[in-house]
Chain A
Amino acid sequence: MADPVIVDRVTKRFAGHTAVDALSLTVPSGTIYGLLGPNGAGKSTTIRMILNIYVPDSGSVRLFGEQGSGRDHSARIGYLPEERGLYAKMRVLDVLLFLAELKGVDRRAARSKALTWLERLGLSDWRMRKVNELSKGMQQKVQFISTILHEPDLLVMDEAFSGLDPVNSQVLKDTVLELRAQGKTILFSTHIMEQAEKICDHVCIIARGKKLVDGTMSDIKRTHGGRNLLVNFDGARGNADAIFADHRLVAKADASGQFAELELAPHADAQEVLRALVTSGARLSRFELAEPSLNKIFIDLVGPDAATPVTRPEVANA
């Protein structure tokens, strides 16, 4: 099966500022793909180009291995934008039917599917109520139903979990996992690494419009991990600070009191560090060669300055 999304060197500029710079990525079929980056990295712009809401200045987007833009394939794509919103004065069921119609679903088929989903998410009593009579959490559920009602092969969610309460967050996660089990592909962006780490098969980390790394979660952890040491002291720290500052052994140290997370210097051996610590009189309760958290990889890659977002591209342009 062809990869649902192939982005090939797309660039998008807004009023002299480059939001996305020659970015390429491939979303494999049947996976949960996380597009990660700090605020203002170009995640939303990338997603909008995939959906043909924005037209790239250069480069191309190929969907389902076929010709045609995101709009041409819109019946196979479900899209949950970063900023949520529905027609406030419409009835819940009517909104769902309308949005399904735009995806080419027959009204009658859409109705039965909508009722099933409303029932499943506990909203069936609300189907004839106006959207603005619903609580925010309920509106989020309605919007989520509208995203998947037409049973898309590709689900695209921008800042998927932002603004969700824990219950809805869980509902969303369960549904996403269920969709993957059905062979659907999910592409979502987030800047919250803990969520991405839990459910993503693939990730792509971008900053300032450029790709820093992409690949499967395990590959990335392997490439960027195995060089990480977790150290817990048991009282005496010996000469730890001097050892952590030794760049022949330790590239980076994040030490606080009784705990330290270290990154080994290139070509350094973890055993040397252990020996040095013990020799200096430190007492250790833990010495572990660990996989780094996605969060750490992210911060290492992005760096502190890239994490400072430039102005929102849309605002800058307006």
Chain B
Amino acid sequence: MRKILAVIRREFVERVRQRWFWVMVVLGPLFFGALFVVPSLLAGKSGVKHIAVVDGTTTRFGANLTERLDRDTLFVAVRVPAAPATIDSLFAAAQRKGVDSSAPHPIDSLMAAVDRNEIDGFLIVGDETPDSGKAMYRASNISSFVTIATLDRILSELVTVTRLEREGVNPAVVAKARIGVDLKSDKIAGGKITGESAAQSFSLAYFMGIILYMSILIYGINVMSSVLEEKTTKIVEVLISSLRPFQLLMGKVLGVGAVSIFQFLIWGVSTRLLISQRRHIMGKQGLGDAGQLFQMPHVTPATAAVFLAYFLGGFLLYSAMFAAVGAMSSNEQEARQAQQPVMMLLIASFISMFAMLNDPGSTLSVTLSMIPFSAPIAMPVRWAAGTLPLSEVALSLAILAVSILGVTWIASRIYRVGILMTGKRPSLKELVRWVRTA
């Protein structure tokens, strides 16, 4: 036992001392922060849009629109008054492409401003806008669909209001009619409303999946390179003369596992901090709405326990396989090739997570959460996304535990023979012989 402790201690201390560990510690939260922001950015948000409203209306419509846009966090709007005739000619020009384009036009100066990046775009409205719903938006970046959608929404609302008021509907009634629907979703667990919204469940499941995948991968590979280092430096022979190969393997896995738990502690605390500061950070970037999808989830003790149980299970399962890969290889290149099958298993489990997020209760999801190789990612994701009967979790954990024993038994036999072998990588047939004879 004391020898195993010495191995655990060495693995832990040497790893924590390395620079890459602290780089990961710092980059980890940054990475998770990016996971918050990037999907929002991909959804089309890229900050506040400065736009000009070219107002050719003779009513208050243009001024109202400008004011409404400016109030939205997405826009900074400035009204540019224009003669109705100018607007008419613009609409006409748009219909009969390029007829007037050679003649100088007041709109040219705005185009130039877009070119110079002084404004992001301009919106043209005229008197016919409330009637026909016709308006034009010209911008350097039309593809930003959130911008277009928001513009569309605000414009439509105002057109509706203007039309209703024109028909003599009481403005108070219009205001009442405009109150939107705010669909609130709650997750039910054990017959009780948990107070956790769908968005929170989704974000929790998403994060747990990613963290599980990444840490099982990173720390599994850590075990592999540790095995490989001892093998290539030949120090393993000295070690094996002092303790059993299985003791060495166990100390190694536990030591690397302890590093991962340590890193989780640091990451956990910083991610928690980041989430609690989410509104603040996103508000600064004008991403108020994007935060909706990723709300701070309630991590209950049960969820934490499930996460930890499956992380440890997954880590033990995969690190045993990675250790066997390290033991059967003679150098980094060989190991990189030999690790492919193990990586594939893990990557497949990760990708299947997305199918599961759509429907955590489907047959596919249930199957994946029972297969030991995908369960470490699949089950926590299902747990977070929906509510599961405890019996299902227990069954899945039991299968996982039995598989860990089986896989470790095989892996440790490969390890035992492999660490003292030199020469070419064994074929599958030879591996089977190692397992049989070890």
B11-37: CB near A (< 8 Å → 1, else 0) gives 001100010000000000000000000
Contact B420 A87 (CB under 8 A): no
List the B side residues contacting A317 at CB < 8 Å: 421
Contact B233 A98 (CB under 8 A): no
Cβ proximity bits B231-244 to A, threshold 8 Å, 1 near / 0 not: 01111011111111
Residue of B nearest to A103 (CB): B242
**Is A102 touching B6 in the complex (CB atoms < 8 A)?**
yes
Does A51 sit within 8 A of B, measured CB to CB? yes
Whether A314 contacts B229 in the complex (CB less than 8 A), given A53-B237, A71-B244, A102-B243, comes out as no
* Docked-complex contact A101 and B2, CB < 8 angstroms: yes
By a CB distance below 8 angstroms, the chain B residues around A48 are 237
**Is A315 interfacial (CB 8 A cutoff)?**
yes
Q: A87-B229, A104-B2 are in contact. Are A314 and B235 (CB under 8 A)?
A: no
Using a Cβ–Cβ cut-off of 8 Å, how many residues does chain B contribute to the interface with A? 29
- Asked whether, in the complex, the Cβ of A52 is within 8 Å of the Cβ of B241, the reply is yes
Q: Which residues of chain A from 71 to 111 have any CB-CB distance to chain B below 8 Å in the complex?
A: 71, 74, 77, 79, 81, 83-90, 94, 98-99, 101-104
B3 touching A53 by the CB < 8 A rule? no
Residue A70 lies at the interface, judged by CB distance under 8 Å to chain B? yes
Q: Which residues of B contact A1 (CB under 8 A)?
A: none
B233 touches A51 (CB 8 A): no
**What is the 8 Å Cβ interface bit string for chain B, positions 408-438, against chain A (1 contact, 0 not)?**
0000000000001111101000100000000
| B314 CB to nearest chain A CB (Å) | 28
Q: Is A167 an interface residue (CB 8 A)?
A: no
Measured CB to CB, the closest approach of chain A to B428, in angstroms, equals 14
Decide: B10 and A71 in contact? CB cutoff 8 A.
Answer: no
State whether the Cβ of A318 lies closer than 8 Å to any Cβ in chain B. Answer: yes
Whether B423 contacts A88 by the Cβ 8 Å rule is no
Which residues of the other chain, A, contact B233 by a CB distance below 8 angstroms? 85-88
Q: Which residues of B contact A77 (CB under 8 A)?
A: 241
Name the distance in Å between A51's Cβ and chain B's nearest Cβ. 4
- Report yes or no: A314 in contact with B421, Cβ–Cβ below 8 A: yes
Q: Which of B14, B238, B424, B426 contacts A81 (CB 8 A)?
A: B238
0/1 per residue, A42-66, Cβ < 8 Å to B? 0000001001111000000000000
**C-alpha spacing A104/B5, complex, angstroms:** 11
Instruction: Report the Cα distance A90→B426, complex, angstroms.
Output: 30
> Is the CB–CB distance between B241 and A318 below 8 Å?
no
Q: Which of B18, B235, B244, B423 contacts A85 (CB 8 A)?
A: B235
Give the residues in chain A near B239, CB-CB below 8 Å: 102
Q: Which residue of the partner chain, among A85, A98, A103, A146, contacts B10 with CB atoms under 8 Å?
A: A98
With A315-B423, A318-B423 known as contacts, the answer to whether A86 contacts B3 (CB < 8 A) is no
Known contacts A83-B234, A88-B233; A102 and B242 CB within 8 A of each other: yes
Within the complex, what minimum Cβ distance (angstroms) separates B51 from chain A? 57
For A89, what are the chain B residues with a Cβ–Cβ distance below 8 Å?
14, 18
- Contacting pair B424 A53 (CB below 8 A): no
Inter-subunit contact B237/A83 (CB<8 Å):
yes
Contact B6 A98 (CB under 8 A): yes
A153-189 CB mask vs B (1 if < 8 Å, else 0) is: 0000000000000000000000000000000000000
Do B235 and A79 touch across chains, with their CB atoms under 8 A apart? no
Q: Are B424 and A318 in contact (CB under 8 A)?
A: yes
Specify which chain B residues have a CB less than 8 angstroms from the CB of A52 in the assembled complex.
Answer: 241
- Kindly report which residue of chain B lies nearest to residue A88, judged by CB atoms: B233
Contacts of A54 in B (CB 8 A): 420
Q: Residues of B contacting A312 with CB < 8 Å?
A: 422
Residue numbers in A under 8 Å from B424 (CB-CB): 318
Q: Which residues does chain A contribute within 8 Å of B240, judged by CB atoms?
A: 53
Contact between A79 and B2, CB atoms less than 8 A apart: no
Give the CA-CA distance A314 to B330 in the complex, in Å. 13
A84 touches B422 (CB 8 A): no
Residue of A70, A87, A101 touching B235 (CB-CB under 8 A): A87
Q: Indicate which residue in A86, A87, A318 contacts B422 across the interface (CB closer than 8 Å).
A: A318
> Which residues of chain B are near A86, meaning CB under 8 Å?
233, 235
| Complex Cα–Cα for A48 and B421 (A) | 13
A83–B238 alpha-carbon span in the complex (Å)? 10
Q: Contact between A315 and B422 (Cβ–Cβ < 8 Å)?
A: yes
- Cα A74 to Cα B241 in complex, Å, equals 7
Q: A53-B240, A101-B3 are in contact. Are A314 and B234 (CB under 8 A)?
A: no
Let me know if B242 and A81 touch, CB within 8 A: no
B426 contacts A101, CB within 8 Å? no
Picked from B235, B242, B426, the residue with its CB within 8 Å of the CB of A318 is: B426
Specify which of A79, A85, A94 is in contact with B241 (CB 8 Å cutoff).
A79
A70 to B234, CA, bound (A): 19
A44: nearest residue on chain B (CB-CB)?
A: B237
Alpha-carbon separation in the docked complex, A315 to B422 (Å): 6
In-complex Cβ contact of A314 among B242, B422, B430 (8 A): B422
C-beta contact mask, A303-314 vs B, less than 8 Å → 1, else 0?
000000000101
Best-surrounded residue of B2, B235, B243, B420 (most CB of chain A within 10 A) = B235
Bound-state CA distance A89–B242 (Å) is 21
Question: Binary interface profile of A, 285-318, with partner B (CB < 8 Å = 1, else 0)?
Answer: 0000000000000000000000000001011011
Residues of A close to B420: CB separation below 8 A: 53-54, 314
Q: Distance in Å from the Cβ of A52 to the closest Cβ of chain B?
A: 7
| Residue of A77, A85, A314 with most chain B CB atoms under a 10 A cut-off | A85
| Min C-beta distance of B19 to chain A, whole Å | 11
Say yes or no: A51 contacts B2, CB within 8 Å: no
CA–CA, A290 and B391, complex, Å: 87
What is the CB-to-nearest-CB distance from A7 to chain B, in angstroms, rounded to a whole number?
Answer: 16
Which residue of A is nearest B5, CB measured? A101
Distance in Å: Cβ of B241 to nearest Cβ of chain A: 4
- Expressed in whole angstroms, the Cα–Cα distance for A71 and B241 within the complex equals 6
Determine the distance from Cα of A104 to Cα of B6 in the docked complex, in whole angstroms: 10
| Cα-based distance from A33 to B352 in the complex (angstroms) | 62
Chain B residues within an 8 Å CB radius of A83:
234, 237
* Central interface residue in A71, A90, A98, A102, by most chain B CB within 10 Å: A102
A70 adjacent to B241 (CB under 8 Å): yes
Chain A contacts for B243, CB-based, 8 A = 71, 74, 102
Residues of A207-227 at the interface with B, using a CB-CB cut-off of 8 Å, are none
Contacts of A94 in B (CB 8 A): 10, 13-14
B238 near A99: Cβ-Cβ < 8 Å: yes
Which 6 pairs, one residue from A and one from B, show the smallest C-beta to C-beta distance? A85-B233, A318-B423, A101-B6, A85-B234, A83-B234, A315-B423
Residues in A lying within 8 Å of B, measured CB to CB: 48, 51-54, 70-71, 74, 77, 79, 81, 83-90, 94, 98-99, 101-104, 146, 312, 314-315, 317-318
A-B contacts, 10 of them at CB < 8 A, read: A52-B241, A53-B237, A54-B420, A81-B234, A83-B234, A87-B230, A94-B10, A102-B7, A315-B423, A318-B423
Knowing that A94-B13, A94-B14, A315-B422 are A-B contacts, what are 15 other residue pairs whose CB atoms are under 8 Å apart, sorted by A's residue number?
A: A53-B241, A54-B420, A74-B241, A74-B242, A77-B241, A85-B234, A87-B229, A87-B233, A89-B18, A94-B10, A98-B6, A101-B6, A102-B6, A102-B7, A318-B424
